[in-house]
Amino acid sequence: MSHIHIDITGLAFGYEKAAKIIDGLSVSFQEHDAVGIIGANGAGKSTFLKLLVGLELPSSGSIRIEEIPVEKGTLAKIRERIGYVFQDSDTQLFMTTVREDVAFAPTNYGLPADEVNRRVDRALELVHIPHLADKAIYTLSGGEKKLASIATILSMTPDIMLLDEPSVALDPRNRRNLIHILNEFSHLKIIASHDLDFIWDTCSRVILMDHGQLVADGPADQLLRNETLLTSHGLELPLSLQKRHGAHA
């Protein structure tokens, strides 16, 4: 069995030539890492995740996923291994109904119809939306779209999960359920989020980004408690760690 890991060296990228949105980033992730990516709006978190799945290609530097370089010719192979939840669910969901979207990847992978159906039913059950299976995507609420997006990766068995703002729009019960699902997944997961309490509940390692650079990388229980570091990069302590948490001031 191959050992799951990602190695990134000197990664740089800009949407326009002059702007360095990712600016010389080197980092490695291992099989059982649960990594939170945090940083202010525009720090480059989503861009970084897009580079990992080859939705954008680096201007310099390299990304290797399980020894496979991320480049045009390897994208199909890379995407078989990675489940990726987009920040924007409207970009993720492109079929007519929820069932079709959740079935898309396993069908494309060549699995037989009964196995696809079994996986779709299980994925929908995991996120508590079997009742939405035949609903048209455009009629879903924001939170329902997010749950359907998460189901599209649960119907595969990825080695690696990349999730971009997965808790956005979820009600407390669905948010709690997602924390449970992610904590059950023991392989590599990388979660970009402003919900630092969600990161606290799901990640053991945190990476702080600012202006496309990695400014801190360390254990979640140290980094997320470091108020000076967080505030100097436009963030705040997780609500559960704020002194006034629970007080009605």
Ligand X SMILES: Nc1ncnc2c1ncn2[C@@H]1O[C@H](COP(=O)(O)OP(=O)(O)OP(=O)(O)O)[C@@H](O)[C@H]1O
User: In sequence order, what are the beta bridge partners of 62?
Assistant: 9
Please list every residue from 81 through 110 that binds ligand X, using CB under 6 A: 87
Q: Which of 46, 149, 155, 167 binds Mg ion (CB under 5 A)?
A: 46
CB contact at 8 A, 63 and 42: no
Residue span binding Mg ion (CB under 5 A) among the ranges 58-66, 81-89, 146-154, 213-221: 81-89
Please list every residue from 16 through 45 that binds ligand X, using CB under 6 A: 21, 39, 41-45
Residue span binding Mg ion (CB under 5 A) among the ranges 8-16, 42-50, 97-105, 196-204: 42-50
Q: How far is the CB of 160 from ligand X (least distance, A)?
A: 19
134 CB-near residues (< 8 Å, 6+ apart): 97, 98, 99
Q: Tell me which residue of 150, 146, 196 sits closest to 169, measured CA to CA.
A: 146
Q: How far is the CB of 66 from ligand X (least distance, A)?
A: 24
97 sits near Mg ion (criterion: CB under 5 A): no
Residue span binding Mg ion (CB under 5 A) among the ranges 40-48, 70-78, 154-162, 195-203: 40-48
Compute the CA torsion angle 155, 161, 165, 166 (nearest 10 deg). Answer: 30
47 sits near ligand X (criterion: CB under 6 A): yes
Decide whether 40 or 133 has the Cβ nearer to ligand X. Answer: 40
CA 90 to chain CA centroid, nearest Å: 16
- Give the CA diameter of the chain: 58
Structure-token pair, residue 209: 């980004």
Decide whether 205 or 233 has the Cβ nearer to ligand X. Answer: 233
93 CB-near residues (< 8 Å, 6+ apart): 101, 137, 145, 148, 149, 152
Decide whether 40 or 181 has the Cβ nearer to Mg ion. Answer: 40
Q: Tell me which residue of 119, 114, 44 sits closest to 83, measured CA to CA.
A: 119
Cα 49 to Cα 52: distance, rounded to the nearest angstrom? 5
Q: How far is the CB of 214 from ligand X (least distance, A)?
A: 13
The contact pattern for ligand X, residues 114-133, with x = CB under 6 A and - = no contact, is --------------------
Residue ranges that bind Mg ion, judged by CB under 5 A: 45-46, 87
Residue ranges that bind ligand X, judged by CB under 6 A: 15, 21, 39, 41-47, 87
